[in-house]
Each structure stands twice: as C-alpha cells, then as structure tokens.
Structure 1
C-alpha cells in the first residue's frame, strides 16, 4: 500500500485528486477523494479500462498521453499510477488553458493539428472531459511543444462497439474534435 501525504497533493477534479507518487517523482497517483458525489469514480474506471485496452492493442506511442503504470491501493483509497508530465527543464507542465490565455489559440495551431492527428491515427477515443484545463502543454524545448491529455480519456457513450472499428472510431473522434474546437477554441 502506498502512503500518500497531503504535502504531495498536486490537483483535484470533480471526483479525483492527484498526488505525487511517494516513491517516484516521475509518476503521479490518481485517487477518488472523500466527499465527492460518488463513492467510486466512474472516470477512473473508464480511464483504467481504456488504458488496459490500449495495452492490449500494443500501444507504444504515449506522446500525447501520460504512460499508465497500473492500479494501486493507497491510504486514501484505490487509485492508479500515471506519468507526471514535465517540461524539458524539469518543471511540472502547465495546463493548455494557461497558455491559451497567455498566447491565444493561433500560437498553437501546429500542436493542435498534431494532437488531433494522433487521436485519429491511433483510434484513441476521448470524452467530453477533454478541455484545455485537462490538457497539459509539455515544453520539450523553448520552441517544441506537445499537448498531453491528462483527463478525459475513453468513451462515456453506452454504445461503444463502433469504437472497435477504425472507420467508426475516427468518425466519433472527428465529431468530438469539432465539438472541442467549437466549445473551447473558437471564442
């Protein structure tokens, strides 16, 4: 069992809290926090399930997703371990929302197109939780950046069978991408 300390707290969403892994500063632990509306995190269940599906597919390219290291029991409940996204200088990457506010969407057209193409090429479904605050901008250098989805992986639809067929998966990804762009990037 991992013991998560309050001083290792990083962030909190609607259902989950994220902590620095106590034994590895290159990893984080996501746990369902006490006092949220649900006892079990549906987000966590979907995300873990989707990571396992990617493993079965032999997914090796995690350029735009944190790497998944499995499930774990902690003193704060069940959780799972993922990569901590850091910039080239070792600092924890900031949210895409932060950079959009600072520089505007036009500054990141190349990164957005590469990000969109990554999901299409790998048939990776994201849900409506993909919003600028749930995407990090990882600085690989002063001029080279990657967008990394830290929340919103997997499909919340009840009918997910079409996601197994690349043609239909890409159509769903394209529709969700359009909604993402219209809702968050065209302001």
Structure 2
C-alpha cells in the first residue's frame, strides 16, 4: 500500500522536490518530485519528455548515483551529505527517504540562511563551513546547487550538512566523466557560496565576514 502524504504537510518546497515528515518515523523525511517540476519538464522539453525514460526522475538518478559514489568510493567524512535511506511508494509518486538532521530539541536543523538571518551565526559555524567547503573541494562528489537554504547545521554532531543540490543537472554530464572538470566546478560552487554567505552576513549587520 502506498504511503499517504498530504500536500499541506510539506515542510519544504524546492524547484524539483517537496519534503514531508515520514508518517512512520520521526528520524526520516520523504522527498517526492513536485508537480511544478513535472510541468516545467513538459513545457521546456515537451518532445524529449515523451520519449525519454524516467524523465521526471533524473534528480533522483543523479542524487542516488552520488550516494553510491560516496559509499563505493570509500569517501571519508560522508556526514557532510544528508544520509540516503532508500525508496518508498507514496500517493504522490515514488519518493526517497533520507535521515532527518535535527537539533538537540528534536526539531529539524536550522539552515545556514536561518542561522545568519536570526543572528545566531558565530565562529563555530564559520569553522564548520570552512571544513565543509574544504571537503567539497577535495572530494569528487558532484554538487550543483550550493545555497544557504540547502545547507543545515547539525547541532548534535557539530558540522554542516548538504541536504539538496547533489548530482549534476542533466544526463549525461561531463562532471561525471572528468574528475578535473568536476573539481573545478565544485570550486566555482564553493566560491559562489562564499559570496552568498558574505552578502547575507552584510545584510544581517555582521561585521565578521566569512
């Protein structure tokens, strides 16, 4: 039987996916492809949408491939990426389950954006962000969308976690073929994130920049 999800219970909405609390476990979340993304694919790629296999699910394919890479490549410090748990059938289509990142209170972890806007961002977060960016630049995982809303602070374990934007944008991708090209692309992503963080810090009145 499909797991039943209600649209009004979504806790996050992105360009591609909706995120829901798992009805049977407080430690898990469920991500499903949004109707908005399906309509976008139909509008932008009307012919290929009808011809290509699993057109709507390429975000899953690319994301899961990176989790396989992390596991099979025996990459160290995989805690920087949200843990993938598996697939689940829902009334809204095929979903993927991931480990929820939480605070000591049991609430979902704050995003980097929220930490800055609420003026809770401090030196430990700067150190944690440096560690995350260094890891992204040194490994060969593919990241495509590093934004302050896609990164959360794991308060319990004291490090940042990327919760979205993993995997290349399209199939096929040169980033999955050339390590050098992908590493350069990741460095461009981390440089862009640094600029975004400093912009948000200035907007929130911080004197300390990252």
- Mark yes or no: TM-score above 0.5: yes
Identify which range, 25-34 or 58-67, moves more after superposition. Answer: 58-67
Name the TM-score, length of structure 2 as normaliser: 0.74
Match for residue 98 of structure 2? Answer: 82
Match for residue 22 of structure 1? Answer: 23
In 2: Cα distance, 1:145 partner to 1:121 partner? 20
Alignment CA distance shift 1:159-1:170 (3 Å): closer
Q: Greater Rg, structure 1 or structure 2?
A: 2
- Decide which structure has greater helix share: 2
Match for residue 186 of structure 1? Answer: 198
Matches within 5 A, 1:44-123: 44-59=60-75, 61-103=77-119, 107=123, 108-123=125-140
In 2: Cα distance, 1:88 partner to 1:104 partner? 15
Is the contact made by 1:48 and 1:80 (CA closer than 8 Å) also made in structure 2? Answer: no
Is the contact made by 1:105 and 1:185 (CA closer than 8 Å) also made in structure 2? Answer: no
Is the contact made by 2:113 and 2:148 (CA closer than 8 Å) also made in structure 1? Answer: yes
Match for residue 48 of structure 2? Answer: none
Report how far residue 62 of structure 1 moved.
3.0
Identify which range, 66-75 or 3-12, moves more after superposition. Answer: 3-12
- Decide which structure has greater strand share: 1
- The number of residues matched between the two structures is 179
Name the TM-score, length of structure 1 as normaliser: 0.82
Alignment CA distance shift 1:111-1:118 (3 Å): same
Report how far residue 57 of structure 1 moved.
1.6
Match for residue 172 of structure 1? Answer: 185
Structure 1 alignment gaps of length 5 or more: none
1:22-70 per-position Cα deviation (integer Å, ceiling 9, x unaligned): 2221111110122432361433332122222223223463321111112
